[in-house]
């Protein structure tokens, strides 16, 4: 049966697809109209709700592009320009991971990397295991591609580290094709230990699954942690697919460049064909990115990572021990998912924008329920992105605390 909607004059018009109607609106962006209204009324809003770094895009990015302005801005290769793919191989080589350029495919943002990877391992109705809370946009990609995300819960009490093998395996069915991790994690800031990855490797090997890893935050780990990549799991080289991006690495979210890395030839052939359909990723940004991959070394990433670590420290100083607030110290990326003493964090986040301010200033956070797939979970949690300067972090968290103290929906 074709569902129809009705024009004003009663004449039927065709309905949009189920996926168009059912795909979730971004929980990170859905409070934006309230923030806009607050700003219009003169309130200054501190954005802890979105992972938009304030780190300047390296000037070399722009310089590298200016040198390459062509007469005709033409299509590039579907898999990306060779100099970027080779620069990425050198980046991995410096990290001790051997990758060849035919194992690298450049994508339009990490977003395209995720949807291509999902589509390369799943057909409609197939399932992917995700640890909730997870990056909410995975939901959108799964809806578009007709894939079911099966959530396995991780808990704030465990610092959102992996649950037991039994809990993970409880999510497996005949339709399971992959396990998906985000490491370091958005929205929790958790960094998986090498041992946890080994545990996943054994599970996917035993069940003959793919292991998909979103490693876009890999350069940002705190307290001298070293990032463990799924690319270094020796036993399952053909089962691993990494999704990456330059958005956070080089503070260039608007460039829309990411990449997929896999040693599985069949997977990479399929992904190349997906890529051929959309022709190519943006051409100019690739010149800039290639230059940065070679030019910026560990010392640059250390500096940026230390900046986020200092902000993380401010977060811990400000919120640790606050009554009713609970979280373990985030280990990487620039996020924390925090339990707060409210019944409905959605309502709290909206109230901060509409019913509360301190001297004309307020703080915007992302309600965590949107990062969970299981209804009812995360209702008393928010995600905080620590992407502001230390001073602004301190001010905005102080406002958050003051709001929490007087919020009418506070848990008794």
Phi, psi of 178 (to 5 degrees): -160, 160
When binding is defined by CB under 8 A, the residue of 186, 190, 252, 305 that contacts a copy of itself is 252
Residues between 96 and 125 with contacts to a copy of itself, criterion CB under 8 A: 108-109, 111-112, 115, 119-124
Closer CB to a copy of itself, 75 or 321, in the complex: 75
Contact between 256 and a copy of itself per CB under 8 A: yes
C-beta separation of 236 from 205 below 8 A: yes
Cβ of residue 16: shortest distance to a copy of itself, in angstroms? 5
- Distance CA(294)–CA(273), nearest Å, equals 28
Closer CB to a copy of itself, 115 or 365, in the complex: 115
Interface region with a copy of itself, contact rule CB under 8 A, candidates 13-21, 165-173, 335-343, 359-367: 13-21
Phi, psi of 342 (to 5 degrees): -130, 160
Rounded to the nearest 10 degrees, the angle between the axes of helix 109-121 and helix 265-277 is: 120
Residues between 18 and 77 with contacts to a copy of itself, criterion CB under 8 A: 18-21, 23-26, 29, 50, 52-57, 61-62, 66, 69-76
Contact between 9 and a copy of itself per CB under 8 A: no
CA triple 323-309-380, angle to 5 deg? 35
Contact between 140 and a copy of itself per CB under 8 A: yes
Q: How many CB atoms lie within 10 A of CB 124?
A: 9
Contact between 173 and a copy of itself per CB under 8 A: no
Residues between 187 and 246 with contacts to a copy of itself, criterion CB under 8 A: 208-210, 238-239
When binding is defined by CB under 8 A, the residue of 91, 274, 293, 335 that contacts a copy of itself is 274
Residues between 382 and 411 with contacts to a copy of itself, criterion CB under 8 A: none
Residues whose CB falls within 8 Å of the CB of residue 272, separated by 6 or more in sequence, listed in order: 78, 79, 105
Contact between 276 and a copy of itself per CB under 8 A: yes
SS3 29: coil
Token digits of residue 354: 């509409």
Of 55, 25, 6, 12, whose CA–CA distance to 292 is shortest? 55
Closer CB to a copy of itself, 117 or 404, in the complex: 117
Cβ of residue 409: shortest distance to a copy of itself, in angstroms? 27
117, containing H or E segment:
helix 109-121
Contact between 174 and a copy of itself per CB under 8 A: yes
Give CA separation, 69 vs 285, 289, 292, 353, in Å: 11, 15, 17, 44
Residue count of the chain: 412
Contact between 371 and a copy of itself per CB under 8 A: no
Interface region with a copy of itself, contact rule CB under 8 A, candidates 34-42, 96-104, 263-271, 400-408: 263-271
When binding is defined by CB under 8 A, the residue of 82, 159, 163, 282 that contacts a copy of itself is 282
């Amino acid at each position: 049966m074709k569902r129809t909607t009705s024009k004003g004059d009663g004449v039927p018009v065709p309905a949009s697809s189920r996926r168009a109607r059912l795909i979730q609106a971004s929980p990170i962006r859905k409070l934006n109209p309230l923030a806009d209204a607050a700003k219009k009324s003169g309130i200054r809003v501190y954005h802890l709700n979105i992972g938009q770094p304030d780190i300047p895009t390296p000037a070399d990015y722009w310089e590298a592009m200016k040198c390459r302005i062509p007469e005709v801005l033409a299509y590039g290769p579907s898999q990306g320009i060779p100099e970027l793919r080779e620069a990425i191989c050198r980046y991995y080589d410096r990290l001790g991971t051997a990758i060849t350029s035919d194992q690298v495919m450049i994508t339009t943002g990490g977003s395209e990397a995720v949807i291509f990877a999902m589509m390369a391992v799943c057909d409609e109705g197939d399932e992917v295991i995700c640890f909730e809370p997870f990056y909410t946009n995975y939901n959108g990609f799964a809806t578009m591609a007709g894939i079911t995300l099966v959530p396995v819960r991780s808990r704030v009490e465990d610092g959102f580290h992996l649950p037991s093998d039994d809990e993970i395996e409880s999510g497996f069915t005949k339709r399971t094709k992959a396990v998906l991790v985000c490491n370091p994690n958005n929205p929790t800031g958790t960094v998986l230990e090498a041992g946890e990855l080994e545990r996943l490797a054994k599970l996917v090997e035993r069940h003959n699954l793919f292991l998909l890893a979103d490693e876009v935050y890999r350069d940002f780990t705190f307290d001298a942690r070293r990032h463990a990549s799924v690319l270094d799991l020796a036993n399952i080289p053909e089962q691993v697919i990494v999704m990456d991006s330059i958005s956070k690495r080089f503070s260039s979210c608007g460039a829309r460049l990411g990449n997929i890395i896999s040693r599985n030839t069949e997977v990479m052939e399929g992904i190349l064909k997906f890529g051929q359909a959309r022709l190519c990723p943006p051409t100019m940004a690739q010149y800039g990115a290639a230059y940065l991959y070679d030019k910026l070394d560990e010392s640059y990433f250390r500096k940026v990572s230390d900046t986020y670590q200092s902000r993380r420290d401010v977060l811990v100083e400000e919120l640790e021990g606050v009554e009713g607030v609970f979280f373990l110290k985030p280990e990487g990326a620039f996020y924390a998912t925090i339990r707060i003493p409210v019944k409905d964090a959605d309502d709290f986040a909206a109230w901060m924008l509409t019913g509360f301010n301190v001297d004309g200033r307020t703080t915007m956070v992302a309600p965590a329920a949107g990062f969970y797939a299981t209804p009812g979970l995360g209702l008393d949690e928010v995600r905080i992105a620590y992407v502001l300067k230390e001073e602004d972090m301190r001010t905005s968290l102080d406002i958050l605390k003051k709001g929490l103290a007087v919020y009418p929906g506070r848990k008794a």
